[in-house]
């Protein structure tokens, strides 16, 4: 009935628009509730080296809303970003990742694993973001060298000077950076050189048609050649087939992530899934 009340009050909007606003507000309220109720969960997708050894994981956010099941990030991250809720949510992701790293470090067979997490623009550009990372590392006792932050080109480009400065502060803690979805943005080579990155992550759209589109194959090879000359590691995301893995391997890409190797899963499945 709240819906009806809203409809009568706000006369400027058509019923369809009002419904959209109502559902947006309902979703925002639900997101706030999700933080309080602990409905977020980090899934872990394994990353492998050329010898088939597990080298780490990417943490991927999931929302387990009672009665709705598992909700993927594309359905709630945009609204979380608009409303600013991405700040506490992103903080939860960092804290959870650091705790997981510490748990891995405490076990001999997982202590070498790296964990990458995605950071959104608003989160990254907080003036105290570096201090927050430092505090989370300290609280958890996780080794900063095992933590990787994934940024997209647009996050960095939004305010390049501030971003580079921010990255240097965080790098000084021992944390490393990966440039996510690489190849879909606008980075020029000279610009890329100024970012304190350790890794490029080849966007999965380039792998999709690699067998049939010679341009995509050429782009992947160019990214690999460029990374070599800049001294950057490369990981391919979205590797779904053995043919894609072989192409990447033969082109000199030595780290992989994708359904071919393992899907994102809750941590409970980590030790049984795609064990090498």
Contact residues toward Mg ion (CB under 5 A) are 118, 150, 180-181, 237
Residues 6+ apart with CB under 8 A from 126: 87, 132
- Asked if 259 touches ligand C2E (CB under 6 A), the answer is yes
Please tell me whether residue 56 binds ligand C2E under the rule CB under 6 A: no
- Contact between residue 229 and residue 192 where contact means Cβ atoms under 8 Å apart: no
Q: For residues 9 and 55, what is the distance between their CA atoms, to the nearest angstrom? A: 56
Q: Cβ of 63: how many Cβ atoms within 10 Å?
A: 21
Going by C-alpha positions, the residue among 88, 38, 49 that lies closest to residue 253 is 49
Residue 258 interacting partner from Mg ion, ligand C2E, none (CB closer than 5 to 8 Å by kind): ligand C2E
Give me the DSSP letters along 109-172: TTTT-EEEEE--HHHHT-TTHHHHHHHHHHHHT--GGGEEEEEEHHHHHTTHHHHHHHHHHHHT
Number of residues that bind ligand C2E (CB under 6 A): 23
Tokens of 92: 């939860």
Pick from Mg ion, ligand C2E, none: which does 56 bind, CB < 5 to 8 A by kind?
none
Give the separation between CA 200 and CA 154, rounded to whole angstroms: 14
Q: Are 117 and 146 in contact (CB under 8 A)?
A: no
Residues 77-106 that bind ligand C2E (CB under 6 A): 77, 90, 93
Backbone angles phi, psi at 31, to 5 degrees: -65, -40
* Piece of the chain touching ligand C2E by CB under 6 A; list 1-9, 115-123, 184-192, 265-273: 115-123
| Interaction residues for ligand C2E, span 174-193 (CB under 6 A) | 180-181
Give 18 or 100: the residue with its C-beta nearer to Mg ion. Answer: 100
The residue among 216 and 237 lying less far from Mg ion, judged by its C-beta, is 237
Choices 20-28, 73-81, 164-172, 188-196 (CB under 6 A): range interacting with ligand C2E: 73-81
Judged by CB, which is closer to ligand C2E: 19, or 184?
184
- Is residue 153 close enough to count as binding ligand C2E by CB under 6 A? no
Nearer to ligand C2E, 45 or 166 (CB): 45
Residues engaged in binding ligand C2E (CB under 6 A): 45, 60-61, 72-74, 77, 90, 93, 117-118, 120, 150, 180-181, 204, 237-240, 258-259, 264
């Amino acid at each position: 009935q709240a819906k009806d009340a809203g409809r009568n009050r706000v006369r400027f909007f058509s019923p369809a628009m009002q419904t959209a606003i109502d559902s947006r507000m309902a979703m925002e309220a639900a997101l706030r509730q999700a933080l309080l109720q602990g409905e977020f969960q980090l899934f872990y997708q394994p990353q492998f080296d050329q010898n088939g050894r597990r080298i780490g994981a990417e943490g991927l956010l999931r929302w387990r809303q009672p009665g709705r099941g598992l909700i993927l990030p594309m359905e709630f991250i945009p609204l979380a970003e608009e409303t600013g809720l991405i700040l506490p949510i992103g903080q939860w992701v960092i804290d959870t990742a650091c705790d997981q790293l510490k748990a891995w470090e405490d076990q001999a067979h997982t202590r070498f694993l790296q964990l990458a997490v995605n950071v959104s623009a608003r989160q990254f550009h907080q003036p105290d973001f570096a201090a927050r990372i430092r505090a989370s590392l300290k609280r958890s006792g996780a080794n900063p060298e095992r933590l990787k932050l994934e940024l997209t080109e647009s996050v960095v480009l939004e305010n390049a000077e501030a971003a580079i400065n921010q990255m240097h502060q965080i790098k000084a803690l021992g944390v490393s950076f990966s440039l996510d979805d690489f190849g879909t943005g606008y980075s020029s080579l000279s610009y890329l050189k100024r970012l304190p990155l350790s890794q490029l992550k080849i966007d999965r759209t380039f792998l999709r048609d690699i067998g049939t589109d010679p341009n995509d194959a050429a782009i992947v090879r160019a990214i690999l050649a460029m990374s070599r000359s800049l001294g950057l590691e490369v990981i391919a995301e979205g590797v779904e087939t053995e043919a894609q893995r072989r192409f990447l391997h033969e082109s000199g890409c030595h780290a992989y992530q994708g359904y071919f190797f393992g899907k994102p899963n809750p941590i409970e499945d980590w030790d049984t899934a795609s064990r090498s």
